[in-house]
Structures are given as C-alpha cells and as structure tokens.
Structure 1
Amino acid sequence: MSIPTLPALACLTLLAACAASVPVTPLATRQDLDYAGAERFVDVDGRRVAYTDSGGAGPPLLFVHPWAGNLAIWDAVAPRFEGRFRVLRVDLPGHGKSEGLAGAYGVEAVAASVTGLVDALDLDGVTLIGNSLGGGVALAVVRDRPQRVARLVLVDALGGGAVPGLFAVFIRTYFTPAMFAGVDDGLVELFSDWFVFEHDTAGNRRFLSDLLSTRAGAEGWAWARAVADTLRDAVDYDATPWLGDVAAPTLVVWGDDDWVIWSAHAQHLAERIPDARLVVLDDCGHMPEVDCPQALAEALDTFLEASRRPPD
C-alpha cells in the first residue's frame, strides 16, 4: 500500500464526513463502559487497575489489549477458553476503567501495571496474550517475571524493532494529545477502516464506539494524553535485547494484511525468540481478535494444546 499524497489526504478528509458512523455516547466517566461480566480492581502502586476474572482451577490466561482499546476487545475470543482455563483480561493505565498515571506514559510504565497485577494475583504459570501495544507489554512482563510466565502469545505485537526514522519523527511531532482530542470522528473511522481493519465486524464497531465515546466524555482529555504519550514512546520500543532470553514457548500470530506493524517484525520476533513459532492469518488486519476472531481462537487453541505442560 502506498503512502497517500496530499490530494488523496484531502479526499480522505472529505470522505470522512460521509463515513458510516458508529454510536457515540459521551461518557460521564470511563466506569460507564459496558463490559460483559463483573469487573474487578486491584491496587498497583496506589492506583486502581481494572480486570475481569472468570475464575476456575485451570491455568491462567491473561489477555492484554492493544493501544487505545480496552479489555472488551477480547469479547469474541477470551470466553471460548473459559472452563478449561482461568481467563483474565486487564485494562492498561488510562485505558478502559483503569486509573491513569500521574507521571509520564510509555510502554514500560503501562507494563509495570500488568506486572503488578500478575504479582498481586499470584499468577504463576500464566500465559500472556497481547495484541499490538499489549504484545509489547507482554514482552516486558516476561522479561521482568520469567518465572511466572508459562507461555507467550504475541499478536501483531510491538517490540520487534523501532519505527523507521522519518515515520517516528512524524508520530512524535503530530500525534499529540490535542490532535487525538480534536480529530474528526469520521476521519478516525475512515483511517481505522483503511489501515487497521480488514473487515467490518461487530468487534471493530465496538472498538471504535468505545474509543470515540471515551474521547467525547468528561475524561476525554486525560484519555487523549494517555494514548498520545504512550504511542509516541512506543515508536522507540524494541525488545530485541532480551528476545533471546525468553524461555517460554511462544506463538507469534500476524494478520497478513497488517499495515500498522509490518510482517518483518513478525519474522524478527519468531527468529529471535528461541522456542517460537509463527502463524500468519489470511485476510486479517492488525487486530485479529476483532477482525478474524475465529481464526485467532483456533491458532491460540492449537498452540495451548501443543504446549500444555505435562502433569507433575
């Protein structure tokens, strides 16, 4: 896919006004987000981290959402594993219902909250499953708590190399809190449909509705700061120095039509992590959990069965 020219960008802006709209209901508070199942909270360094927990005696699976999302993004995948596994989902700081950070945002800062949750809930033998930013977070957690992580699943994940120079400069310069707070709803939808999603699904619509409703609400500016600052830090995030130390069996899953994090990053992760395998999902974009959830669930199920620990 080529980079749009200025006339093309002007046309995109015009088309944004005609884009099909998702429901946008400004939220009085992020706690008004509608989650399936009862959410819980755990204190990590004096701040509340939101999560859901199916309970049960099975090995724990912890799902970590992508940038600008929340734990509901896993609705079409995570419930399929309840019963056999204890299924948990977490909101990153400033996202979903988790409290924001007082200081600077960045990949390491938001990852610390997930590490704190893993410790607080004593999640030994956990399988970490992260998409995009969530994958980068999972890589930081396995680096810091290798003894707790049994398996790792990286879905179109951050961490396989920094963003190329000029594009990184563009993101740092223009992707500011003010931009995220003020950009037209239709342009957000159009960009997502062109570059992030391959299909029009209920999950994709839910992701956009939650994003735009949060932005339009009373906590919109705080949310814009969280997502802008995290993204601008993420362009430099590169887990290469510790990929060779990852001992957990790892599944690298990538949509073949991901235009956000290119497939070279998938190859890099799969080649550098010692016990890693790569699965490419056909006709799928950057967020398989909403774009092609059935294919992702099948790949995940196959991996979990193949890498299941034998009984003691």
Structure 2
Amino acid sequence: MASGKLATAPRVPPVETVHRSRFISVDGMRTHYLEAGEGPPLVLLHSGEFGGCAELSWEYLIPKLAPHFRVIAPDWLGFGKTAKIHDFDGKRARMLSHMARFVEVMAIDRAHFVGNSMGATFLLQMASGQPCALPIDRLVAISGGGFMPENEERRRLIDYDGTEEAMADLLAAMFEQPVWHLDPDYVRRRHALSNAPGAWEAVAAARFRSPQAPSRAEFGQADHTPYELIVVPTLVIAGDRDRLRFPGFAPELAARIANGEAAVLADCGHCPNIERADAVADLILEFLARDRSARAPEPPKAVASGSPEHRPRLTA
C-alpha cells in the first residue's frame, strides 16, 4: 500500500459483559439462560438462524437494560446451550411449550418480553393466543411477525452448510453494515457456535421432509396469525434495510394490534438489537417506562426513521 501500512480488517464494537450464565431443568430438559440486573423482569427471546443464541442476540442490549430490569435471556430449545432436542411431530409447538414452562419454572408472574426475528414471531403468536401462554405485560417485537418472503437473502440463511464462507454470506444477508460479515473474528465466533455439538443438526432438522410428505416451502406462506387478538401494548421495531421482510411491514403489522405502534431505524438490517443497539435500547426503555394510565396509542399512521446520529421517535 502507498502508506506502507497493512490494512486492518473491520472490527465489530466491543462487548461489555455483565450477564451471568445459568442452567435450569425444565421438565427434564437442560435449559440455559443469561441473567443480569435487578428489578422488574424483562425476558429476551433470541433469533433462530444457524448458531443463534441468547448471547449473540442480546450481548449489546443487556448492559443497557440491566441497570433498569432483571434481564433474563433463555436459549430456545435446540439452540445455544439448551438441550438439542427437535420434535419431528411438532417443532414449533414443542419450542413454545418449553418456553412457557421455562417462564413458569422461573416463577415469573408478570414480565415485559422482547423478541428478535424468530423470537419476535413466536412471541407475537403466543400473545395472540386465547388465553396467552405467557404472562406478558408489554411486548417488543424486533424484525418478527408478518409475511416472511422466500428470497435470495432467505436462501443464504436456509442453505448454510457449516463453512466460514457460508457464515459470512449469512451475516451479509442479516446486516446492513458490512462490518458484521467482514470482521474475521466475529465470523469465526459465529461459525464456531453454529457447529457446536448438535447445533447445526437441530436447526437443519426443521427442513427435513419425508419423501411421502407433500412438498411445502417453509417461507413465502400466508401469515394467519390473528394479531387483532393481541391486547397488550406492543412495539414493533424494524430496520429500513431488512431484506428478510418486505419494506413497510412494521407499521402495517402494528396497525393490526389494538395497542400497537412501530419504529423503523434507518440504515439498519434484520437485527437492530445488534446493529443499532443504542437506539433500540432507548426505544425499549421509553416504551416500557410509559405510564400505564396513559391513553392507548392509535394505530400507526407513519414510519419513524432516523439517521445513525439521531435517535428515532415512536409513531402512534
């Protein structure tokens, strides 16, 4: 190079580790969770990509939320350090029932819940159930719910073959800023977690199909979740460059929820909780601190946006 210096690879922001790693048995299934802080309980439900786990989804948010809440971030059944169990008779139902039992075993009578991607989708589905399977006070859904198109970016996630190159492609589909797939240490870390014993198999098993079963794509299907039945205050957060969802999905989804509102972050992909953690923390803290006696918000009429230098506002 002209300067005589070697180019340095981009590096993701450093992590302040404040959480503690814990294990508990839920109906005989070893279940891992992270815990930090004191105060009202706040449960964080992580995303479902290969290698997905509580630590990766929430490591940037936990230090910002822990001064205000007792943060509890479990690994879903089949993910992270939780038992690698896959129910071929009903994967989704088994995961949801396990999570509901985790909350019960942890003696959580009432809590705020935040989910990202798969975690947000499952959280919204449980909140729409009658009765709801979780003791939800307020709900924050980050890049989850609504129609999930099957496109090129989605194929990068589904077709992950366990190599570092494929992990970099997966991260490029999830994030808008290139640092997340160009930092070699971050890619290697993600790659190692995706290849922990049983981790790849537990996620890939969802795509196994009997030769006798009718062909059916996992994504690109109509979303039949009855969002109108959700009664708890709900904030939907999205990135305006999320290529795993259609543009504008967040305010459209929030409009179907009686106490729903949306916030859309500029220059951000599918994981604002990682890519724009400061802005997301501000949104969550403001939303959860809101006076319960305040008037319920109207359905959203506009999209909130902001540059990385400016805090986004909520729309209602």
Give the length in aligned residue pairs: 265
Between the aligned partners of 2:137 and 2:162, the Cα distance in structure 1 is 41
1:248 to 232, 235, 257: 232
1:262 to 246, 270, 273: 246
2:16 counterpart of 1:37: no
Task: Please give the per-residue CA displacement for 1:75-103, whole angstroms capped at 9, x wherever unaligned.
Answer: 11122121321111111111110112242
What is aligned with 1:16? Answer: none
Partner of residue 124, structure 2? 139
Moved more, 76-85 or 196-205: 196-205
Mark the CA change 1:154 to 1:204 in structure 2 (over 3 Å): closer, same or farther: farther
- The separation in 2 between residues aligned to 1:204 and 1:43, in whole angstroms, is 38
Q: What per-residue deviation string (whole Å, max 9, x for no partner) do you get for residues 179-209 of structure 1?
A: 53x354213303422x211124579957643
**Is 1:89 the equivalent of 2:73?**
yes
Partner of 2:169: 190
Do 2:84 and 2:198's aligned partners in 1 also have CA atoms closer than 8 Å? no
The Cα shift of 1:294 comes to 1.0
| 1:192-207 correspondence runs (5 A) | 192-193=171-172, 195-200=173-178
Bigger relative contact order (CA 8 A; separation at least 6): 1
Q: Is residue 147 of structure 2 the alignment partner of residue 161 of structure 1?
A: yes
Quote the offset at 1:149 in angstroms: 0.6
Name the structure 1 match of 2:101: 116
Q: Give TM-score, length-normalised by structure 1.
A: 0.73
Say if 2:37 is the partner of 1:61: no
1: CA distance between counterparts of 2:113 and 2:103? 10
1:9 corresponds in structure 2 to none
Q: Deviations over 1:127-186 (max 9, x none)?
A: 1100100101212332353671100001011x213546xx59x96xx987xx53x35421
Shift of 1:41: 2.1
Any conservation in 2 of the 1:204–1:291 contact (CA below 8 Å)?
Answer: no
> CA deviation digits over 1:218-264, x for unaligned, max 9?
435434435656xx6565483532x1111111111110110012234
TM-score, length-scaled by structure 2:
0.72
**Residue 152 of structure 1: aligned partner:** 139
Other-structure match for 2:260: 276
* % same residue: 25
Secondary structure of the 1:298 match is helix
Match of 1:49 among 31, 37, 43: 31
Corresponding residue SS for 1:113: helix
Q: Which runs of 5+ in 1 are unaligned?
A: 1-19, 23-34
Given the superposition, is the C-alpha separation of residues 21 and 100 from structure 1 closer, same or farther in structure 2, using an over 3 Å criterion?
farther
Distance 1:214 1:307, change over 3 A: same
**Alpha-carbon distance in 1 for matches of 2:169, 2:202:** 21
The whole-number CA distance in structure 2 between the counterparts of 1:51 and 1:309 is 33
Alpha-carbon contact 2:54-2:80 (below 8 Å) kept:
yes
